[in-house]
Structure 1
């Protein structure tokens, strides 16, 4: 049974009040947690949480993310890996945020090729094509390198991420998206594993199609130069924060091209040169 946003504890019975960071009776982190929890539980986007956190206190934003992930764990979700956001320059330009971030993947966020994905779990979904890494070893040594990532990777998969935002209108600063679990939604994984040996992931071309029509193009080099480089960045960040990647983790390495609005029920198909295809099937929930 999947845990959805509606299964999480509702810590706020009404939207959090709007006030500047540090002002009012609520501490900034608690206010941001309450606002995002309410948005998820009611499926109603909230105002940017930078009103509480400011735009530069990234550690405070990650503390919000940590508390929200902890609440999901309490509600029954299991940590399944991590995702990297804001890796592609075209996506950074879309939001005016010019540095990567990361979020937590939970088991209820993972779907398989063609498995129906209910639209009702999202607020403002968008789709993007990525390469997922599945680890066979821990990445817990200080300063893990690209070579460490390659040794630790058991295989890679084509993957579609359905990104989402609890922030109204995708009006984001870096603290908004970090606090909101790197604007995470769900992940659709391909079912044919590919070993990384001999693959030049920087040169992998990507086409994302909606109902057969190409809606996004890209390549591996758009992801911090290579998806492997992006995963090495993530591994270093998580070791520094004492939350290292572990064997069995799924790691979404970041967008290879522009994200596109989902816009309703339909099928997205990702085609990756040399890495096969994966299809996301988004459906309205039946009562």
Structure 2
């Protein structure tokens, strides 16, 4: 893919902290770490910047997005993945912290599976700055006269490659200054 894409996570896809991921309900689940923004006020318009996103956010948190695709081995075209809602399936979000004073480009990201490090990154892995990814989304929505509303959470994009999971696996995402979130699989 040569450009970002976006999908929507249904509220029913939320996995509560400590709740296991039911892999039997999924086809081929994979997990990736994300920086999650909680909006404190509405964001709308064609000129929204990363600074606007940070200023509008009441909190940022570490999250794990669970991808699931109906396409074998995630082999899809751009049209396929858009039709499949970007493989969006489930998500878990840690406890938000205020974004002030945190340079989200530079935060270190650690993804572990069953206690072993499987990937590392920085916040800059999401379009150079995770808030820039959210600003991009707002500008895309503006073309449809849409925006984001206060209270919504926005996952800003995968920071590492997604790792496959199966029953018994435990995935932990840790992001400097944001904390950790763990997802056990059954």
TM class, shorter-length: over 0.9
Q: Deviations over 1:210-267 (max 9, x none)?
A: 1111111111111110101111101111121233111111100011112111133321
Structure (1 or 2) with the larger CA radius of gyration: 1
Richer in helix (by share): 1
* Residue aligning to 1:151: 55
Rounded to whole Å, the distance in 2 between the matches of 1:166 and 1:154 is 35
* Residue aligning to 2:133: 230
Q: When the two structures are superposed, what TM-score results if normalisation uses the length of structure 1?
A: 0.63
| 1:194 CA displacement | 0.9
Rounded to whole Å, the distance in 1 between the matches of 2:45 and 2:74 is 36
Q: When the two structures are superposed, what TM-score results if normalisation uses the length of structure 2?
A: 0.95
Residues 1:276 and 2:179 aligned together: yes
Gaps (5+ residues) in structure 1? 1-96
* Residue aligning to 2:159: 256
| 1:150 CA displacement | 1.4
Rounded to whole Å, the distance in 1 between the matches of 2:99 and 2:12 is 27
Structure 1 residues 122-271: aligned runs within 5 Å: 122-190=26-94, 192-271=95-174
Residues 1:98 and 2:32 aligned together: no
Q: Which has the higher contact order (CA 8 A, sep 6+)?
A: 2
The alignment's C-alpha RMSD in Å is: 1.2
Richer in strand (by share): 2
How many residues are aligned here? 186
**Runs (4+) off by over 6 Å:** none
Gaps (5+ residues) in structure 2? none
Rounded to whole Å, the distance in 1 between the matches of 2:184 and 2:146 is 32
